[in-house]
Structure formats: C-alpha cells, structure tokens
Amino acid sequence: MNRVEVLERMEPILNTQVRTMEHNPRTRVVVTPDMVTLRPGSGQRHLEMTTGGAQSMANFVGLPWNLAAKLHPNTFGAVATELLARKQRYALMIKEGAVTAVAKPTEYHSLSPARVLSAIEKGINGIEYNRLLILDNFVACLELIGEKREPVVRGDLIQAGAQVTFSPIGTIDPVVQSFALRLICTNGMTSNTILREFHYGDGGSGGEGDDIWQWFRRASKEAYDSLDRIVARYRQMADEQIPPEQRALMLEAMLRDAKITGDDANAVRAMAIENPPETTYALMNLISNATSHLLEDPNRIRRAQNTVASFTSEEGHSRLCPVCHSRRN
C-alpha cells in the first residue's frame, strides 16, 4: 500500500460525526419491521439507525442482539428506550444522517490521518505500508515496515516495523506496538508489549511531555528499533523442540485462543500435517500465517495477532509450551 491508498481506506471513518446526547425523558427508540429510529425528545430531528447502529445500541445497553432480534418490534423499542435512559449520556456515531454506532461518551480527540502518517514517516526511514485493518469502534490498525532486516535462522528474514492503532475520530487512545514481517511467506507478527500508549490526560501529553505528533514519531521509532529484541526471542523459540505427542494439543490450544474455526482452522491443521511444527517458532508461524493468508475479517485477524503476540511473551508462552514444564488448565 502507498500513502494515498492508506488515506483513502480511512475515508469512511472521517465521514463519521460524533454527537454526545444527554438523556431526555421524552427520547424514544421506535422499531418497525423495516427500520429502527432514535427520536430525541428535545426537538432534534429523528435519526434513522443502520442495522449495525441498532446492533451497537443493543450491545451498548446490555441487550444481546440475538435476543433483541427475536423480540416484537414494539417490545424491542420499549426495552431499548428504558435501558438507554439508564445510561444518562451516550455518544452517537452518525454517517450520512444515520446512526451507525452508539458508544460510551468520552472526550473525543480527532486526529488527522495525514498528520499521523507524516509523524510516523519522520520516525522510520524508508517506510512502507504493509496493511491497514479497519476495526470496530472506528479504529484503524496500521502495519508498517522499514528497511531494517535480521534473520531468525538462515534463510528466514524478519523485517522491522511498527503497528500503530488509533482512531481518526478519537474513540481510543493511540497505541504503538512492535511489528515484524516474516519475509519467507509475508506473514506479520506483533509484540505483546505495548511500547507506548498516549493518554490525553495530564495536559494532553504522552507521559514525557510529548505532543501527539512527537509521540507518534518517537513511538514508531522505538517500535522499529526493537527488532533485535524480537529476533532474539524468536531464536529462542526456534530452539524449543515440541515433543511429537504435544504438537496437536498445542496447535488446538492456539486455534482456540485465536478463535480460528471452521475451514480456516482445517486449513491450518492441513499445513501442520504437511509440515509438522517441530518447534514453538514453527507453531507460532502457523497461526501468524493465518492472519495474512486465510483470515479476512479485520477483527478476527487482530484477535489472532494478539494470540500470537501472547504466545511469544513469557506468561502466555508458559500456558502452552511443554518445554516450559507448564500446561494450560
């Protein structure tokens, strides 16, 4: 991906407006077989809700969607109205005049994606954009790499990078993690360690007097420069032999943690049969391969990435690895 493509992919988020609502006793959620409408009781115009917006509202008020969808429209409307009233305040995400999500109100801090990219590019030389995941809650998860490379074993190069997670409309505090792209099959892996997280409290600093743009530059550089530490950990895992009788158990545990199921899980199992994972590094790569070659939903990809990242950490690794003489309960 290039810079223009990254910005174009974020455009749908940028077209979203955030409106914080105070509870009004006359506010109603009106449900018909064809539409869900939020009717503020303060003279504001009625707001149609998309299907995703209605699901988001149900989740926000604690009404499981699988139950809400089965209720009679009048019942759903009455229950949603009562539960929404208990929240007192809430934020509406509005796109093209329709509510696309309902969320907890917070102090939103919009971020220009172009300025975010400019700041990152100042922290990493020769930057390339590997992939952009658009996650729930209007969050962008950007994988990027630089020029630095290091082998784990001969013929298996890892390219240094960073994973930057932020919301252009400010639904979350930005986070930067290490990212490494395995060039042998272009599957990317993240570190479980959050190198830097920007909090808008404390005068709007990143904890060290940084403004947000300095923070993006420094944090991405720090993530990029962590390649040696990541490769050292992967080399340890490349030496950890998995007893043959433990391989299937460990693989199933990782598939379960990553919530990889159905045909995707069967594809991973088939790869394991063809090339049995003899080391914990090989096992990790089976799952990280799925994040770049099998899974398509961004939220499922992120879940699997987090499982891989946890597996590289000492605590997460010991839950599964028989080399560590610790078994998961």
The pLDDT averaged over each successive group of 10 residues in the chain (329 residues) is 93 85 88 90 84 91 89 92 90 89 80 94 93 92 95 93 92 90 84 69 47 91 93 93 93 94 96 95 92 92 91 74 55
- Alpha helices in the chain, H assignment, sequence order: 3-14, 51-61, 65-68, 73-85, 113-123, 201-204, 212-224, 227-238, 244-258, 262-274, 280-293, 298-312, 314-318
Other C-beta atoms closer than 10 Å to the C-beta of 47 total 18
Sheet of 28-31: strand order equals 17-22, 89-95, 98-103, 47-49, 36-39, 28-31
Q: How far is CA 146 from CA 14, 71, 162, 180, in A?
A: 27, 52, 9, 10
Q: Which residues pair with 134 in a beta bridge?
A: 140
Other C-beta atoms closer than 10 Å to the C-beta of 181 total 21
Closest CA relative to residue 82, chosen from 135, 131, 23: 23
Q: Where are the domains of the chain?
A: 15-103, 113-232, 239-324
The whole-number pLDDT of residue 326 equals 46
Rounded to 5°, angle at Cα 247 from 323 and 266:
145
The whole-number pLDDT of residue 205 equals 44
> For the chain, what is the total number of helices (H) and then of strands (E)?
13, 11
Cα–Cα distance for residue pair 319/214, rounded to 1 Å: 38
Could you give the count of Cα atoms lying within 13 Å of 82 in the half-sphere of its Cβ? 6
SS3 category, 193: strand
The whole-number pLDDT of residue 203 equals 44
Residue type for position 81: T
The whole-number pLDDT of residue 141 equals 96
Sign of CA dihedral 151, 156, 159, 164: negative
pTM flag (> 0.75): yes
211-244 b/e with 16+ CB inside 10 Å = b?
ebbbbbbbbbbebbbbbeebbebbebbbebebee
Q: Which helix (H) or strand (E) holds 20?
A: strand 17-22
Q: How far is CA 161 from CA 44, 100, 124, 283, in A?
A: 47, 33, 8, 22
The whole-number pLDDT of residue 312 equals 85
The whole-number pLDDT of residue 202 equals 47
What are 140's two structure tokens? 């962008």
Q: How far is CA 308 from CA 106, 139, 144, 262, 298, in A?
A: 31, 21, 18, 19, 15
The whole-number pLDDT of residue 323 equals 66
Residue type for position 181: L
The whole-number pLDDT of residue 13 equals 87
Q: Which residues contact 153 (CB under 8 A, 6 or more apart)?
A: 235, 238
